[in-house]
Structure 1
Amino acid sequence: MTSPDAPSATLTFSGLPAEILPDGFSATGWALRIGGIEQSHVDLADPRTVRHEYLRRVANVLDTAAAPGEPLSVLHLGGGALTLVRYVQATRPGSEQTVVEIEPELIDLVTGALPLPEGTRMRALIGDAEEQLALLAEADARFDAIVLDVFNGSDSPPHLARERFYARCLERLTERGILLVNIGDDDGLRFFADQVREVRGAAAQARMAGPWTLTDSVVAGILEEGNLVLALGPGVEAGDLDSRREAWLEAGPHPVAVLDPAQTEVLLRRIPEDDLEADEES
């Protein structure tokens, strides 16, 4: 149920109510709730504040994608409250950003209630991520970072969770580009394991190394429900990998696990593939 005083909309694609409410922590903090569940958080006074842990990990990777303050071209597949768009503008002014959002009402709801920082260069594309990516490919658009944030375990769009789609994302990266994939999963992390296999296949096609994994060390340690971020692409492979790992470890949030492709494979082997196949057949 939505609050009668909150900016709100009923989303066409999902049919769920969306509303923007005070976060209860500060006068400038706001939360986007969809279907009664908090999806995104924004601090209008400080766009560098990223409260959700998985987004903070994504932001940490973007911090190392180029020299501090240097603008990036970023494609966001999934918009939420545009938290990451605000962060990139605050840390890298002048960045060119594109947001693909399947819910027609969401961008207007968010920007109407929570205006973007002055100077933000963002265009919004409404539609399915795969279809919009194909249109961007026709225009030969390329990006320094692509952030895919549409996955939530079994509720994830199947056509976006396949090797073919990941391969198309990798094709849109620049020479310093990074693909970042947020995966929310249940206990056991079977969907995560499936996505690692799909991403690994796409990376092999592109002759790239497999994905790094950034997550809470407890999630990785006991295969607990949570969010895991995959990072791969030429921008991840370039430069001093030890320094990059140390930067991501230091940035947290803690406790943090930063697994290179080989360590991601070790984690993958701890998650039984047969259980996932049984679930898909049932």
Structure 2
Amino acid sequence: MSWTLLVDGTAQSHVDLTDPTHLEFEYVRRLGHVLDAAAPPAAPLRVLHLGGGAWTLPRYVAATRPGSGQRVVELDGALAELIAARLPADGLGLEVRVGDARAELARVPDASVDVLVVDVFAGARIPAHLTSVAFVGAAARVLAPGGLYAANLADGAPLEFAKSQVATARAALPELAVIAAPDVLRGRRFGNLVLVAGREPLPLAALIRAAAGDPFPARVEHSRALGRFCAGAPVVTDATARPSPVPPPGFFGRPEPQPDSSAQP
């Protein structure tokens, strides 16, 4: 049985209760690739999910890595209650906390997280306070040795937001890669990009294989190619931070604009 969660017309999550390893959305599969590559198969991970949705990735981790310790942070308390009631995840060992992602991140102990997944949207945009170098620095603080930071971004041509996010992450974490469809990387369409970062060399070979083998193949940009991608992009501070761009109509399930029924001919 599958469910899709929409919030204000935006598709936030897809959950297959009969098969939690089924990841419907492309960007969620790419985040799943990061989780798969973070440790040997079936080895438990300590995962912090900023942004809960319908708990798709926490369910995936619980199914593929039994015994993992997972915390989910969700700002919308009513949404968290709805998911718990309608799409329960009993027995999966999830700790769900209601609160702001950055505020809750500040309470997490140093070096206590193996994978930090950031997938936070207010409607269809990433909140500004989760895009700054101070935020990424706070994320870096909680990463254990070898830990990975994975953030879902959304952008379109000329990709100024995505490029600045790569430059910002690089200011806090030295190893980076971006996973995205080739046409998104070229700015031919609006889409998702998954930013992966850490202090130690990333599992690039595993990520490249997984991205290439996906039903909708993606490319993994890293090293010099990624440096060229973000060349000249500014590092975002709290003072300069802005939300991610407004997606075009129809993206993320956003409805097309409707004519104003009150308008007179």
TM-score bin, normalised by smaller chain = 0.7 to 0.9
* TM-score normalised by structure 2 residue count: 0.82
* Change in 2 beyond 3 A, CA 1:151/1:264: farther
1:266 to 228, 239, 261: 228
AA aligned to 1:42 is V
Q: CA RMSD in A?
A: 2.2
Per-residue deviation at 1:168?
A: 1.0
CA distance in 2, matches of 1:105, 1:57: 28
* Change in 2 beyond 3 A, CA 1:186/1:37: same
Q: Deviations over 1:23-43 (max 9, x none)?
A: xxxxx1111010022111000
Instruction: State whether structure 2 residue 122 is matched by structure 1 residue 157.
Output: no
Q: Residue 152 of structure 1 contacts residue 185 of structure 1 at CA under 8 Å; is this kept in 2? A: no
CA distance in 2, matches of 1:65, 1:43: 23
User: Which residue is 1:132 aligned to?
Assistant: 104
1:195 to 157, 160, 165: 165
User: Which residue is 1:231 aligned to?
Assistant: 196
Higher relative contact order (CA 8 A, sep 6+): 2
Per-residue deviation at 1:121?
A: 0.8
| Fraction of identical pairs, as percent | 38
Q: Residue 101 of structure 1 contacts residue 127 of structure 1 at CA under 8 Å; is this kept in 2? A: yes
Corresponding pairs, count: 235
* TM-score normalised by structure 1 residue count: 0.77
User: Which residue is 2:83 aligned to?
Assistant: 110
AA aligned to 2:210 is W
List gaps (5 residues or longer) in structure 1.
1-27, 274-279
Report 1:1-282 matches (<5 A): 28-116=1-89, 119-137=91-109, 140=110, 142-151=112-121, 155-203=125-173, 208-209=174-175, 211-234=176-199, 237=201, 241=204, 243-269=205-231
CA distance in 2, matches of 1:115, 1:34: 18
Per-residue deviation at 1:268?
A: 2.3
CA distance in 1, matches of 2:166, 2:202: 21
SS of 2:186's equivalent?
helix
